[in-house]
Amino acid sequence: MHMADALLSPAVGITMLAGTVAVGGYASKKLKENIDDRMIPLMGVLGAFIFAAQMINFTIPATGASGHLGGGMILAILLGPHAAFLVMASVLTVQALFFADGGLLALGCNIWNLAFYPGYLLYPLLYKPLAGGGDRPGRVLVASVISVVVALQLGAFSVVLQTYLSGKSELPLGAFLLFMQPIHLAIGLVEGFITAGIIGFIRSVRPDILACAATSRPLSGDFSLRKILITFAVLAVFTGAALSWFASTHPDGLEWAIARVTGRAELPEPVGGIGVVLKDIQEKTAFLPGYGFQSAPSEAIEAEAPPAWPAVEAGTSAAGVIGAAIVLGVVGLIGFCIRLVRKRVQGATP
Amino acid sequence: MTFDERYFNIGRLDRLSYGDSFIHRLDPRTKVIATILFLFTVVSFPKYEVVALAPFFLFPILLMTLGGISLRFIALKVLMVSPFAILIGIFNPLFDTQTVTIGFGTSISAGWISFAAILVKFTLTVSTALLLVATTSFPGVCQALRRLGCPAIFVTQLLFLYRYLFVLAEEAMRIVRARDLRCFGRQGRGVKIFARLVGTLLVRSLDRAERIYRAMLSRGFAGDIPRLGGFRLRSADLAFAAAMALFLVTFRFFPLTEEFGRFAQELWR
Amino acid sequence: MSHHIIEFRDVLFRYPDGTEALKGINFRITHGESVGIVGANGAGKSTLLLHLNGCLLPAAGTVTIGDLTLAAETRRQLRRKVGVVFQNPDDQLFMPTVFEDVAFGPLNIGLNDRQVRERVHWALGMVGCLDLWDKPPHHLSAGQKSAVAIAAVMAMEPDILAMDEPAANLDPRSRRSLIGLLKTFRHTKLIASHDLDLILDVCERCLVVRDGRVVADGPSAAILSDAPLLEENNLELPLSLHRR
């Protein structure tokens, strides 16, 4: 499922955008160095292919629900991680723009969730080792299913985390996870089978494509363990930073959530020294209300007891409601008038 | 949504984007930046703020009316993608039961307010994003992205995707129709057949990519897609940008809606 | 433009899956000739055309165009001399707008912005599609796409023009326009087609290809009225000759 802008806070949005842009820049650079000319039309057409394939629904067995393809893993197998990332990113961008499937600010999240995990994590770490040369259908099936399932689990978990850290939804962490993970397990199983099926089909009618795909990218040599560890480290820092922002501003909220999930009622220490530093910075930027970092502007004043969360400013006055009605009325009127004028103008000119 | 519906949907939005109006004629960079800033501002409101969001409807309304886009079209599209947001948001009233007053002597749980905030923000963000596309051709958006610093290879990718998505969607539609004509009830919609259909589409796509590559080579392609000069900013763009900035700052940091309300109350007395 | 003689000598070509598509093609075409290439499906017509601009390289034999012999190193130069219009216009119009598609070739040659604009203007004007300049290709009709694809190739001002099934997706009127247009070109033309009436109309000379070899080579009027020869090659008399 795709993140929507309405559920996102600027802090989370920007963090994920930064991560995605970093990976995208890396992928672009790598492609520029290594690119075979024919990759350009190939990437474009495969992007269109994924887009079109996603428009075809199928029924998920045993549930009767309809689902559609993700595609990150197939792209990774056919194109290698760098191109696959960019292609998937482009598909998500066009979907966000044309279908409003996922928000524009949330693109950073969605691209990370759906394009990063399959190509850069699961493909080198799970799929390639498990599938071996790819000539044994049984191995390919196992490799496909496992890597796709894990990729989707990571993606789903990320959505939950991003929503939770944005603080706009009240859904408790545990419940949300309980909702998202099993669904994506089912979807992942199906997509894993489909991926294996497609690869098998390609192998039978056009084996040259797979041979080309496997050898034209210096993947195994390139992707050292060190790079993987760095990626994990980066991931950890992002999540750690985000968690500590949250921990330092919504101590009650996090405590409550953790209590519900784990049964304990303790406030965890901020992550190492990062939490303290971040709290410091945050206090200095306290004049920016509501940018996802705080729930009440009065956090800056240490003397006051931190307000109970949620803040008391949830309510509003009659003036507010009246004002809103007036504003909406005026806006509507403006719109109506513009339309009238346009029609008049268009009617007048032949 | 069925395949056909999705396909004609994109087609419609695409055709709208080639219209001609004041908004259409603005530089794509202006529109892209304005939209991003707008989205950012809307999303930055605290989770219980609903009333202050009201003036922000002006932006999508202006885009819609000046750009000649039908309200019904946008409204339907917003409605169509709302399920996820509603699904998540509906839990707010369930879990957040602190009661707060909302004037006129009534009170409701805070959860409903935050839910309302989510819905309003959703409507604003989705409609504005759609209107960006509806009033700026997709290649225009891509050009804007490139000039705002996006790597060329990604922009080329977006343009190729856009170019061929209609072609491939049509091929997919043909394949799907062939399938649907031959499956009765549920048979044939299963996963195995889907894999074969998609496999066929994939092979055709790969062949097509090969032919396109040949055509590119035949016209001298040597690795880089060449470009001509671009857009120039006009005074209309600068005026638009300035107005936008003023609007966003004003309505984000000053609770004017409440002021209007109070003013009206005074008049009433 | 001096000598742009096209010469195929004993050209052999085998596809990666082993299919022998060309088993010894021999012909010679001189400057300004209009030559049609006809034959059954799978005879090797398209494969032959793909050799003209180096998309494919012969396994044996030589392809000479002007004073260049086709090889991996000379491919790029050859492409400036030979313009190939492929069967499916969608595959050839890959840029966001018609203008950019037609400008693609000239920009790759290295012309400056002003020269490019002039070429595009001229090429689009020649095919009658000037008003389509800012449209995206997927908004065009089949006839318009074909016309723009031709313009895109012509904008490079090649000396030799090769076309694969140019009228395949056209309605009668567009087809008629195309025939009229082709008749105005003074270039050397090679047109592979099943549309024998078009060949009769546009090309004075005709090659018949069967099983990867040229089995007949002569004036179109003669070849295309030779019913037995045509039937051997899964063809029929052109419709315009049927009435006799």
Checking if the pLDDT of C214 tops 60, the result is yes
Checking if the pLDDT of C28 tops 90, the result is yes
Q: Could you give the 3-state DSSP secondary structure of residue C206?
A: strand
Q: Cβ–Cβ of C109/B208 closer than 8 Å?
A: no
Phi, psi of C37 (to 5 degrees): -120, 115
Please report the pLDDT score of residue B1 as a whole number: 57
Please report the pLDDT score of residue A135 as a whole number: 75
Cα distance between residue C29 and residue A236, in whole Å: 69
DSSP H or E segment with residue A85: helix A81-99
B164 → chain A, closest CA residue = A48
In the structure, what pLDDT confidence band is assigned to residue C151 with cuts at 50, 70 and 90? very high
Please report the pLDDT score of residue C110 as a whole number: 86
Q: What is the DSSP string of A8-77?
A: --HHHHHHHHHHHHHHHHHHHHHHHHH--TTHHHHHHHHHHHHHHHHTS-EEPTTT--EE----HHHHHH
Please report the pLDDT score of residue A294 as a whole number: 37
Q: Is C118 left (phi over 0), alpha (psi -120 to 50) or beta?
A: alpha
| 8 Å CB contact between A202 and B202 | yes
Model's pTM, two decimal places? 0.80
**Cβ under 8 Å to B: C residues 172-211:** none
In the structure, what pLDDT confidence band is assigned to residue C89 with cuts at 50, 70 and 90? very high
Chains B & C: contacts with CB separation below 8 Å: 82
Closest CA to C100 of C123, C83, C71: C123
* Cα of A90 to nearest chain C Cα, Å: 16
Give the pLDDT mean for C15-40.
Answer: 89
Handedness of CA A169, A171, A176, A180 (dihedral sign): negative
Phi, psi of C43 (to 5 degrees): -70, -25
* CA–CA distances in Å: residue A72 to residues A60, A69, A94, A189, A195: 19, 9, 15, 14, 10
Residue pointed to by tokens 């490019």 = C116
ipTM: 0.89
Q: Which one is predicted more confidently, B91 or C57?
A: C57
- What stretches of B26-82 show up as alpha helix (H) in DSSP? 28-43, 58-67, 71-80
Please report the pLDDT score of residue A285 as a whole number: 42
Q: Residues near A88 by Cβ (< 8 Å), separated by ≥ 6? A: A50, A71, A72, A75, A111, A114, A115, A118, A119
- Residue range B100-141, pLDDT digits in tens: 777 677 777 888 888 888 899 999 999 999 999 899 988 888
In the structure, what pLDDT confidence band is assigned to residue B186 with cuts at 50, 70 and 90? low
Q: Cβ–Cβ of B208/C104 closer than 8 Å?
A: no
Q: Cβ–Cβ of C136/B18 closer than 8 Å?
A: yes
Q: Which one is predicted more confidently, C79 or A289?
A: C79
Checking if the pLDDT of C242 tops 70, the result is yes
Q: Cβ–Cβ of C138/B228 closer than 8 Å?
A: no
What is the CA B4 to chain-centroid distance, rounded? 20
% of chain B surpassing 70 pLDDT: 94
Please report the pLDDT score of residue C154 as a whole number: 92
Q: Which residues sit opposite C189 in a β-bridge?
A: C34, C161
In the structure, what pLDDT confidence band is assigned to residue C177 with cuts at 50, 70 and 90? confident
Chains A & B: contacts with CB separation below 8 Å: 379
pLDDT averaged over every residue in chain B: 84
* Cα of A47 to nearest chain C Cα, Å: 14
Please report the pLDDT score of residue B61 as a whole number: 92
**Interface contact A56, partner B, CB < 8 A:** yes
Q: Which residues sit opposite C38 in a β-bridge?
A: C208
Please report the pLDDT score of residue A140 as a whole number: 86
* Cα of B218 to nearest chain C Cα, Å: 6
Instruction: Extract the residue ranges of chain A whose pLDDT is less than 50.
Output: 215-226, 240-241, 243-275, 278-279, 281-312
pLDDT averaged over every residue in chain C: 90
Helices C172-184, C142-154: axis angle to 10 degrees equals 10
Cα distance between residue C203 and residue C183, in whole Å: 9
Please report the pLDDT score of residue A231 as a whole number: 57
**Interface contact C97, partner B, CB < 8 A:** yes
Preceding peptide of B151 cis, ω within 30° = no
**Cβ under 8 Å to A: B residues 9-48:** 9-10, 13-14, 35-36, 39-40, 42-48
Judged by average pLDDT, the poorest of A128-132, A276-280, B2-6, B158-162 is A276-280
* Cα of C84 to nearest chain B Cα, Å: 7
Please report the pLDDT score of residue B14 as a whole number: 86
Q: Which chain A residues are Cβ-neighbours of B126 within 8 angstroms? A: 4-5, 100, 103
* Cα of B225 to nearest chain C Cα, Å: 8
Q: Which residues sit opposite C23 in a β-bridge?
A: C12
Q: Which chain C residues are Cβ-neighbours of B227 within 8 angstroms? A: 107
Phi, psi of B222 (to 5 degrees): -135, 25
